[in-house]
Each structure stands twice: as C-alpha cells, then as structure tokens.
Structure 1
C-alpha cells in the first residue's frame, strides 16, 4: 500500500473557505477507482505554522498514484487548489 499525504495552506483561512476546499477534496471519494482510501482533516489549532487541510490518500501501487494524478476529477481538484493555495502544498509519499 502506498500512502500519499498532502498539506495545504490557503490564502483565505476562514472556516468557510476551508470547508469549501475540504468539500472539493472529499468529493473524490468513491469516484476514482484506484483511490483506495481518502481522509481530509482540517486544522484545529490555527497556529501561524499550521497548515489548514491535510489530505491522506492510499493506493495499491505507485502506478495507481500516477493514474490518480492524471484522472479528470483530480485534474479539476488541482485546478481549484491553484486558485486557493497560499504558495505550494507539501507532500510525503511512503509505503505503508
């Protein structure tokens, strides 16, 4: 199993804006066949160093992660993220 974790810091860090982006991310659930698990969490501490959203996804293989990366729905999500991100996201991918 491959775990893909991404952290996002948004330009607009208001609770409403965070919830909109969380909904965009969770909308992928059940719609991309290679996506075995998805969890989206929002920050509760709201520190300056905090990121606003964490995305945890799981795949059977690195090839499946590549399929996910180019899936049309994920492309829509990436387009949304480009409009709301404060800079770039950070990620970690590891075998779990």
Structure 2
C-alpha cells in the first residue's frame, strides 16, 4: 500500500479557512476510483502546518491516476490559491 501524507499551511491561518479546506479535501472521498482511503487531520498544536491530508493507494500508478483525476485537479485549483506552503511524504506501508 502506498501512503501519501500532505502537510498544508494556509496563507490565512484561521479556524474558518482551516475547516473550509478540510471539507473541500474530504469532498474527494468516494469520487476517485484509485483512492482507497482519505483522511484530513487538523493540527491542534498550531505548529508549522494547519492540516494533514492522508491518502492511500494500492500502487504508485494508482497515486499518479489520483493526481491527474479531474476531481483532484478541481480541489487542487482551490488549494493552490489559499496555500502558503506544503510538504509531502510518500511511503510504502508494510502494514
């Protein structure tokens, strides 16, 4: 299983923007065939990042299909406008 963790820092880091972003990210759930699981967590420590998107796939090819899927592309268009910074960590889970 391939896991992709995306850490997101917003330009305007307030609770309203964080919650709106969380809802928009969660809107992809069930709409992209190769996306096995999707979670969005909010950083309660008010650290460097506001949200973490956790997605899971059967293979790297499935991850690539997700990245080019029209639903993901629409969400990414929103995210790019509110994004200050992001960091991604992708790994193969042994679980």
| TM band (smaller chain) | over 0.9
Name the CA distance, whole Å, in 2 between partners of 1:54 and 1:44: 11
The corresponding residue for 1:89 is: 86
Alignment of 1:1-96 (within 5 A): 1-47=1-47, 50-86=48-84, 88-96=85-93
Q: Distance in 2 between matches of 1:42 and 1:34?
A: 24
CA separation in 2, counterparts of 1:18 and 1:5? 17
Q: Which runs of 5+ in 2 are unaligned?
A: none
Question: Which runs of 4 or more aligned residues in structure 1 lie more than 2 Å from their structure 2 counterparts after TM superposition?
Answer: none
TM-score (norm 1): 0.94
Q: Calculate the aligned-residue CA RMSD, in Å.
A: 0.7
CA distance in structure 2 between the aligned counterparts of 1:69 and 1:2, rounded to whole angstroms: 13
